[in-house]
Amino acid sequence: NAGVTQTPKFRVLKTGQSMTLLCAQDMNHEYMYWYRQDPGMGLRLIHYSVGEGTTAKGEVPDGYNVSRLKKQNFLLGLESAAPSQTSVYFCASRLNSYTEAFFGQGTRLTVV
Amino acid sequence: AQSVTQLDSQVPVFEEAPVELRCNYSSSVSVYLFWYVQYPNQGLQLLLKYLSGSTLVKGINGFEAEFNKSQTSFHLRKPSVHISDTAEYFCAVSDQTGANNLFFGTGTRLTVIP
C-alpha cells in the first residue's frame, strides 16, 4: 500500500499563478484534510472532507479551494497564488476520530 | 472548540538523559489525544495515542505519555534519549464531532546533544 501520496513534492509559482495539489489515499478512508505548516505555527487546517462529494472550511481557508470528486482523491487549489501562501502543505486521511491520521510526505510551495 | 498548547518550542537534551515534552489542551467535550513525530523533510508519523482507559500510554521508540484530565495535560516522556530522537514533536487533539478534525500544537523541536 502506498498510503497517502502527494504530488508534486516541490513547486515554485509566480504571484498570481494558479495550481492544484493532488492528494491520493488507498486506505478507503472517509476523512481527508489539507494542512499548511509554517515555522513556529504548527499545522493549521485549511479544508477538510468527511466523504466523497463533501468539503468544508478549516482554520485558514482563504485563498484556497478544494474538491473531493472521488473518495480516494482530495485536491487543493490555489486560484491566484500570493507570497503568503509559501508553505509546506500536508494532506492527511483517517478512518474516524479515534484512529490515527496518515500523512503524505508534503509539498513545498514557494510563491515569488 | 479545541486547542492545543505546547509550552516549549525547543528542548535541547544530552544523549541518554530523560526528556519531557509538555502539552496542554482545552476542550469542552471529550477528546482523543495524539503525539506525532516529524523527522526532517518528512511527513508526520504517529508516536502514540490516548483514547480511554489507562492514563499511561506507551508508544513506539520507547516514548510514553500520561493523560491527566484534571490538569488537561498529555505530556510526552522518554527515560533515555538517543541521537536519532532529534526531530519535531507535535501534540494533537481530535474532537468527536462529525468532522473528526485533528488540531495540532505549534510543535517542540527536540535536539539531542551527543
Q: Chain B residue with minimal CA distance to A47?
A: B101
Q: What is the pLDDT of residue B98?
A: 60
A63, A87 Cβ separation under 8 angstroms: no
Q: What is the pLDDT of residue B36?
A: 96
Closest Cβ–Cβ partner in A4, A96, A100 for B46:
A100
Tens of pLDDT along A33-71? 999 999 888 899 999 999 999 999 999 999 999 999 999
Q: How far is A48 from chain B (nearest CA, A)?
A: 8
Q: Chain A residue with minimal CA distance to B88?
A: A42
Digits of tens for pLDDT over chain B (114 positions)? 678 999 999 999 999 999 999 999 987 777 889 999 999 888 899 999 998 888 899 999 999 999 998 999 999 999 999 999 999 999 999 876 666 788 899 999 999 999
CA distance linking residue B14 with residue B79, whole number of Å: 12
CA distance linking residue B111 with residue B9, whole number of Å: 11
Chain B residues close to A51, C-beta within 8 Å: none
Chain B residues close to A48, C-beta within 8 Å: 99, 101
Contact A96 B100 (CB under 8 A): yes
Tens of pLDDT along A17-34? 999 999 999 999 999 999
Closest Cβ–Cβ partner in A43, A44, A97 for B94:
A97
Phi and psi for B83 in degrees, rounded to 5? -55, -40
Q: Could you tell me which residues are beta bridge partners of residue B110?
A: B11, B87
**What number of C-beta contacts closer than 8 Å exist between A and B?**
61
Chain B residues close to A41, C-beta within 8 Å: 106
Residue A23 CB neighbour total at 10 angstroms: 25
Mean pLDDT of chain A: 94
Q: What is the pLDDT of residue B17?
A: 98
Name the region of B99 (left: φ>0; alpha: ψ -120 to 50; beta: rest). Answer: alpha
Q: What is the pLDDT of residue A21?
A: 97
- Provide CB contacts within 8 A for B85, sequence distance 6+: B19, B61, B78, B110, B112
CA distance linking residue B93 with residue B77, whole number of Å: 18
Phi and psi for B91 in degrees, rounded to 5? -95, 145
Cα–chain center distance at B96: 19
CA distance linking residue B24 with residue B92, whole number of Å: 10
Contact A100 B43 (CB under 8 A): no
Closest Cβ–Cβ partner in A90, A97, A100 for B96:
A97
Contact B103 A97 (CB under 8 A): no
Q: What is the pLDDT of residue B99?
A: 65
What is the β-pairing status of strands A10-13 and A107-111? Answer: parallel
Beta strands of chain A (E only): which ranges?
Answer: 4-7, 10-13, 19-25, 31-38, 42-49, 56-57, 64-67, 73-78, 87-94, 102-103, 107-111
What radius of gyration, in Å, describes the C-alpha atoms of chain A?
13
- Name the band, by pLDDT with cuts 50, 70 and 90, for residue A97: confident
Contact A40 B99 (CB under 8 A): no
